[in-house]
Structure 1
Amino acid sequence: MKIKCRPEDFRVEELPTVEPGDRGRFVLYRLTKRGIGTPEAIESIRRRWNLPPDVVRHGGLKDRHALTIQYLSIFKGPERSLHQEQIDLEPIGRIDEPYGPSSFRGNHFGIVLRDLSDDEAARALRAATEIPRDGIPNYFDDQRFGSVGPSGDFIGRAWIAGDHERALWLALAEENDSDRPGDARQKAILREFWGRWPEAKEALDRSHIRSIVTYLVDHPTDFRGAFARVRRDLRSIYFSAYQSHLWNLILARFIERITRPEQRVVHPFRTAELPVPVGLEPDQVDRLARTRLPLPASRTVIGSDEVAEIARSVVAEQGMAWEDLRVRHLKDVFLSKGDRAAMFRAGNWSQSHLNDDDLYRGRKTLELEFELPRGAYATLIVKRLTDAAGGQSAES
């Protein structure tokens, strides 16, 4: 059984900290989107207004399977609206600096879970009352790993390991379940003609991928140079995905270290099976809430304590040392340094309530609203609720 949650039942709005005015070099916009990811939405805006990549800046990445509101800035951008099938863009003022991750403090969520039986609804509601108290392990959730194809190989890992051709092949040619028909066709062409660049160029439509293949026609083995011509925002996503995967593994190992087997439920995430703690004692909850885990990067300084030992062992199992975690040969992307909380708690949690489902007769809905800090995934809360209700996953 799957508990149903339509995209419009999953609403997200960024909570900006900047106050737009009537002066400044950057125009600030409110972007409302549905059925499209943030990079694709920004690319559509750039094409429509013929903008170079570096003039558009945004804060966070918002899921395509939701109705989302976020903000972005354009250097000397047009002060007019843009309305397309999946996006609405409205100018709301001017700011002195480009909008970025530090320009918002978190996100406000509104979620409706549908098609619940009375028993399922009661169990989900009980879990909803426990979440503000117990917190949620702060894993990067599945939408972080949309760039990972059926091979399970990470583009960022291949690059860091020095296999530049493999990294390029994964980025340009491996099929992906999120590919649009045109992208799937171009990837199929590349898989067929990989290494036969003139034939691949002849078969491809005019596109960003074709421009990279054009470079390979003249530089047939310069995979490093070809990868550097992949859009910067995509390359940044590739390396963030691998770093996030490593961090998830570190958190999983830490949870295993501080819990007993009966206090863990293993969940199948997109790139790994990860333990989620249940029935924790107060001291365990407190320890998880106090812990911050290092972001895997050579620039992140770690010592010799228990957390550092866990982090180094996770990376060693990847065949690397902590000091190897850096992006060589590319000057415009890097692995973030710092740390991340092992647990998050929802703020401004409204009273969750049950209603009759207007789409599924005789069934119930569970509605809730809350705020999360920047970087925390509301879909982890949805998983907690659906597990409690007896379902396997949420269906978008």
Structure 2
Amino acid sequence: MKLKVLPEDFVVKELARLPLREKGPYRVYILEKKGWNTIDLLLRLAKARGLPYRLFSYGGLKDRHAHTFQYVTVRHPLDLTTEEAKFSLRSIGWMDRPMGPDLLKGNEFALTLRALSEEEVSRIMRRVDEVRGFGYPNYYDDQRFGSMDRQMGLMAERLLKKHYNGSLQIYLTGIYPEEKKEAKERKLFFREHWGDWATCLSRAKTTMERKIFGLLTEKPKAYVEALRLIPAEELSLLFSAYQSFLFNELLRRILEDLGLELTAVPGVAGPYLFYRRLDRKQLVYLDSLSLPLAASRMEFPDAMSERHFTAILEERGLRRGSFNLRKVRQAYFKSTPRKAIIFPADLHVHPAESDELYPGKQKIRLSFKLPRGSYGTMLVKRLIMP
């Protein structure tokens, strides 16, 4: 099976409740894009118009390898309507507040699965019926863990353990698959010369690299002060990645504790365990179950989930109080509930067709809606699992 061969094979449209006004301090836009991630494109737009990036707000990040539609606000009266080959920005009105995740209801997906054999088509159709009846685990997918270095792990865990030097090293030298060759080589150089701050500064390229290595050149042990230079929004994303990692681990353990027959699908931050069917008691329990994201204050739905979470923290050398950071405070861990399993709304499968890109193979088009924060790619993993 092949996914995202063309941007049009993965279309995502935000569903939102927008309190539009005839006039207001925030101009609202629809941002349509292909081949761009949300932050990089907004940074480009801000720079092109000579506006501070802080004036731009969005509800969610959208995949670079997709055709996406999302809402953006800019706190500025200038009409930034733009039309280019790979993106467009179209003004649709005004609001009294910035765009944010709380305004999102979810996302509408239209996906094309390609290069399928007849056997794969048949299996996917059976899996669709299973998902309609029993849902599937609401894991965070691999794209949530783009900030995880394969050798050193997640920056936030080191920070929670007060390993300030180590967390800063992951932040500045973590290597990720989608990065350009030059960036990977530069980070390897930093890793090899870690502690020789003047040498690192000589190869620094980004503004943040220059700031941090410049500080450390003057104050060689100022790791906490350096960590405080990380922008709040960026640090929040790093914290969210770790919360997602812990959520997935907690959900895996609960599914195992229920004695379900599970199939493992590999993931960059651990396997995704999927069930095929549930008995009535299991379905009622999981459908009503919401698990908290990690923070110093959490509310668990039952003793089993709290017991598993406590065990996870102990294994990783943490406790709940670890999430109450005192030295790095520009971002923080906030606990919100997340459904353990989800049922795609309006799930429709179009009849299989010949795949024009892969002769002799077939393609299937799917359309469905998911709540905010749930991943269409996770549904695909569920449908194509062995």
In the superposition, the TM-score normalised over structure 1's length comes to 0.91
Q: Aligned in 2, Cα 1:137/1:302: closer, same or farther, shift over 3 Å?
A: closer
Tell me which residue corresponds to 1:283.
Answer: 281
2:367 to 366, 369, 380: 369
CA distance in 2, matches of 1:365, 1:59: 32
SS in 2 for 1:349: strand
SS in 2 for 1:284: helix
Whether 1:346 aligns to 2:344 is: yes
Q: Aligned in 2, Cα 1:186/1:91: closer, same or farther, shift over 3 Å?
A: farther
1:113 aligned partner, one-letter code: L
Tell me which residue corresponds to 2:102.
Answer: 102
Q: What is the Cα deviation at residue 142 of structure 1?
A: 0.6
Equivalent pair of 1:265/1:277 in contact (CA under 8 Å): yes
Whether 1:215 aligns to 2:218 is: no
Deviates more, 1:226-235 or 1:110-119: 226-235
2:2 aligned partner, one-letter code: I
Structure-to-structure mapping, 1:40-59, within 5 angstroms: 40-59=40-59
| Unpaired runs of at least 5, structure 1 | 391-396
Equivalent pair of 2:57/2:98 in contact (CA under 8 Å): yes
Tell me which residue corresponds to 2:25.
Answer: 25
TM-align CA RMSD: 2.0
Equivalent pair of 2:160/2:318 in contact (CA under 8 Å): no
SS in 2 for 1:11: strand
Structure-to-structure mapping, 1:220-239, within 5 angstroms: 220-239=220-239
Q: What is the Cα deviation at residue 287 of structure 1?
A: 1.2
CA distance in 2, matches of 1:133, 1:206: 50
Task: Show CA shifts across 1:17-42 (max 9, x none).
Answer: 10433311011121122223222223
Structure-to-structure mapping, 1:116-127, within 5 angstroms: 116-127=116-127
Q: Aligned in 2, Cα 1:331/1:51: closer, same or farther, shift over 3 Å?
A: farther
Q: What is the Cα deviation at residue 4 of structure 1?
A: 4.2
CA distance in 1, matches of 2:362, 2:292: 42
Tell me which residue corresponds to 1:248.
Answer: 248
Q: Aligned in 2, Cα 1:303/1:324: closer, same or farther, shift over 3 Å?
A: farther
Q: What is the Cα deviation at residue 346 of structure 1?
A: 0.6
1:48 aligned partner, one-letter code: A
CA distance in 2, matches of 1:337, 1:53: 27
Q: What is the Cα deviation at residue 193 of structure 1?
A: 3.2
Tell me which residue corresponds to 1:307.
Answer: 305
Deviates more, 1:367-376 or 1:201-210: 201-210
Q: Aligned in 2, Cα 1:156/1:276: closer, same or farther, shift over 3 Å?
A: same
Tell me which residue corresponds to 1:322.
Answer: 320
Tell me which residue corresponds to 1:191.
Answer: 191
SS in 1 for 2:348: coil
Tell me which residue corresponds to 2:90.
Answer: 90
CA distance in 2, matches of 1:327, 1:8: 43
Q: What is the Cα deviation at residue 299 of structure 1?
A: 2.1
1:144 aligned partner, one-letter code: R
Equivalent pair of 1:259/1:277 in contact (CA under 8 Å): no
Q: Aligned in 2, Cα 1:41/1:327: closer, same or farther, shift over 3 Å?
A: farther
Task: Show CA shifts across 1:206-253 (max 9, x none).
Answer: 533223222222222111111221233221111111111111111111
Q: What is the Cα deviation at residue 201 of structure 1?
A: 2.1
Q: Aligned in 2, Cα 1:29/1:182: closer, same or farther, shift over 3 Å?
A: farther
Deviates more, 1:235-244 or 1:86-95: 86-95
2:180 aligned partner, one-letter code: R
Q: Aligned in 2, Cα 1:58/1:353: closer, same or farther, shift over 3 Å?
A: same
In the superposition, the TM-score normalised over structure 2's length comes to 0.93
Equivalent pair of 2:110/2:367 in contact (CA under 8 Å): yes
2:284 aligned partner, one-letter code: D
Equivalent pair of 2:156/2:238 in contact (CA under 8 Å): yes
SS in 2 for 1:348: strand
Percent sequence identity over matched residues? 29
Number of positions where the alignment pairs a residue of Structure 1 with one of Structure 2? 385
Tell me which residue corresponds to 1:393.
Answer: none
Q: What is the Cα deviation at residue 127 of structure 1?
A: 1.5
Tell me which residue corresponds to 2:144.
Answer: 144
Q: Aligned in 2, Cα 1:330/1:168: closer, same or farther, shift over 3 Å?
A: same
Equivalent pair of 1:353/1:368 in contact (CA under 8 Å): no
Whether 1:128 aligns to 2:128 is: yes
CA distance in 1, matches of 2:157, 2:210: 24
CA distance in 2, matches of 1:39, 1:5: 20
Equivalent pair of 2:83/2:89 in contact (CA under 8 Å): yes
Q: Aligned in 2, Cα 1:216/1:294: closer, same or farther, shift over 3 Å?
A: same
